[in-house]
Amino acid sequence: MTPETVCLPDGQTYTVSPVFGGVAFKSNDLTHGTHFPVGWNIALHTEEEKLVFEDGSTAPVNGEGHGEAAGRGDATAMDTTDDGSAPKRKKRVRPFSQPTRQNDTLFISSLSTPSSQEYGPPASPTRQIAMILWVSLYWYFHQREPSPHMSTEASHETPDSAKPMGEWRITIQRDGVLRGRNLIPKLERMGLLATQSTDVGTSLDDSDETWSHMFVSQRMFWQLPPNLFLFTLKPVKGSSPWPGLAASPNTSRPGSPAAQGPAAHFTPRAASPQLGVAKLYNDLPGAPIPTNLAAGVSTVHPITPFFSTSHLPTYYPPLTLQYTFTGNLRHPLRPKPPRMGELFYSRFLPSVGRYLSFRVASLSPEPVPYFGPLGPKPPDRPELTSLSDAQLLESWFAKPRVAAFWGKFTPEFLPNALQSNHSFPAIGLWDGVPFGYFEIYWVKEDILGKVLGGEAGDFDRGLHVMVGEEWARGRASEWMTSLVHWCFTTDMRTMNICLEPRIDNDRILKHLDESGFGRERQISFPHKQSWYVRLRRETWTGPLL
């Protein structure tokens, strides 16, 4: 394993490097006065228990690897079966080299925090541990996925390609930092850990075996809202990195300005008046980006859906269930979408080397500025950032490829989209450069819901997609699975993501097949014949990386 950099959705970066017995995480963003690195270490190893048959062949007990090659490593072995005619069990523990399907084990062995004279302690130590564990798992599930096929005693003679498939998951060991009293139960209640033992148990504390067999699967990890875990440490009063702009007083309201050291990978725009910066930070989170600051606002830290001046997680639960009527249709009352110009999704994609973001479209005659994180490469077509959303849409609709499916552009197109009660328009960006237009809607109230009837779920979401820029084509699976990621993490009650592309749109149908969508059937609209395609939550394992 060689050192690598992991870029978090909120713009923070960590250098990940191998150390004895595990992996070290070092923050690249927390500036402080000492040379001791801020970060943590995790102990990471692979445990394998194999069955040895009479003919000398082997098979893992819990399904990892194939044959003798699966069990190589420096470890001790022990026999656990006395009957000589039965397969013998051998357990081996070896250092981590690459992910296995279900045999890796992790715990946080140590952590290093900055000086209390520079950064205040986290408001909740448990949330800090949860964030550290989440970031560690974020790195782990970005590694190359192991083979999905499982070698078990029952499938000993089955060809490898026909062996049963299993979940990719990692065991979380109650050791090191995670041995804190009631810490594992708290992490389980936050949804970060799971266990097969779902009984109450008879122990009065969390030291029994009930809490010793925790795990995190790939599927459950990518369904967790990242803004439930990500936050930053708050600088103490008087140590603000903003010249001339003091750190927040302790009694300030949650939206008051607070400072964070500049991220090494973030390239700010030209300097702006401090009052403009302070007002911008006063309004966040939850406010649209003011376009009157586009002439040159410099943000100290990237503004993402995870940014908070209170340095607390920005998770907001979905609206509680209550029903209303639209015409004769009974459906759940919907929450208001994000504000015009507001960034609601951000994630770095290593396969592309850029940050993918989505923001709500805006009617502003000025271009909507981007203050989010940037990837390491120069952006494509940066001149597009000087166009307003209406100008972008008009230029995209003018292309025959787009007009063939979307028709002609009209000045009322964007205002109508913004005033819809069951959908909202969004602009997709690669490193802040617009590349496409999208609509995210509730299926129940859409024309698709009328066609589907009772088949449409109360919280099913639908997508309309359009890639306007030629240079951005060929990345459909990347942004498609990211939109799915946002829909599934925004509301856990959303069970399906639906699209209805025209039957002659072969290109998008091909990308939908590659992204895991299934073609259910053809449906007829007044204006087109479409394929009804659907992606079920239960079959989704995560976004494309």
Q: Which residues, in sequence order, are bridge partners of residue 105? A: 45, 171
Task: For residue range 380-432, list pLDDT tens digits in order.
Answer: 999 999 999 999 999 999 999 999 999 999 999 999 999 999 999 999 999 99
Q: Are strands 104-112 and 88-95 parallel, antiparallel or unpaired?
A: unpaired
Q: What's the burial of 339, exposed, middle or buried (CB within 10 Å: 0-12/13-18/19+)?
A: middle
CA distance 110 to 126: 15
What stretch of H or E contains 478?
Answer: helix 476-490
Nearest CA to 22 among 40, 43, 8? 43
Contacts for 491-494 with beta carbons within 8 Å, 24 or more apart? 491/318, 491/459, 492/223, 492/318, 493/318, 493/458, 493/459, 494/459, 494/460, 494/461, 494/537
* CA-CA-CA-CA dihedral for 176, 178, 179, 183, to nearest 10: 170
Nearest CA to 446 among 528, 331, 527? 331
pLDDT, position 277: 54
pLDDT, position 308: 84
Q: Are strands 104-112 and 169-172 parallel, antiparallel or unpaired?
A: parallel
CA dihedral sign of residues 510, 511, 515, 519: negative
Catalytic residue, chosen from 4, 500, 520, 538, is 500
Q: What's the burial of 16, exposed, middle or buried (CB within 10 Å: 0-12/13-18/19+)?
A: buried
Task: For residue range 418-433, list pLDDT tens digits in order.
Answer: 999 999 999 999 999 9
pLDDT, position 52: 73
Extended beta strands in 11-126, E state: 13-19, 22-27, 39-52, 58-60, 88-95, 104-112
Structure tokens at 446: 């859409």
Extended beta strands in 431-528, E state: 433-442, 461-467, 496-499, 518-524
Nearest CA to 146 among 165, 168, 162, 164? 168
Domains, the chain: 4-49+95-228 (no CATH), 323-539 (3.40.630.30)
> Angle at Cα 306 formed by Cα 300 and Cα 312, nearest 5°?
90
Strand order in the sheet with 433-442: 343-349, 354-360, 423-430, 433-442, 461-467, 496-499, 529-536, 518-524
CA distance 176 to 136: 15
Is 128 strand, coil or helix?
Answer: helix
CA distance 344 to 334: 17
CA distance 357 to 426: 10
pLDDT by residue, tens only, the chain of 545 residues: 677 999 999 999 999 999 988 999 998 877 655 555 688 999 999 988 776 777 766 666 655 543 333 333 333 333 444 455 567 777 888 888 899 999 999 999 998 887 777 777 887 889 999 999 999 999 999 999 998 888 777 887 888 888 888 899 999 999 999 998 899 999 999 999 999 988 888 788 887 788 888 999 999 999 999 999 998 888 876 544 443 333 443 333 344 344 443 333 333 343 344 455 556 666 666 666 666 665 455 566 788 899 888 888 999 999 999 999 998 999 999 999 999 999 999 999 999 999 999 999 999 999 999 999 999 999 899 999 999 999 999 999 999 999 999 999 999 999 999 999 999 999 999 999 999 999 999 999 999 999 998 999 999 999 999 999 999 999 999 999 999 999 999 999 999 999 999 999 999 999 999 999 999 999 999 999 999 999 999 999 999 99
pLDDT, position 288: 64
* Residue 500 appears among annotated catalytic residues: yes
Structure tokens at 410: 């009209």
Nearest CA to 507 among 534, 536, 477? 477
pLDDT, position 60: 63
pLDDT, position 202: 79
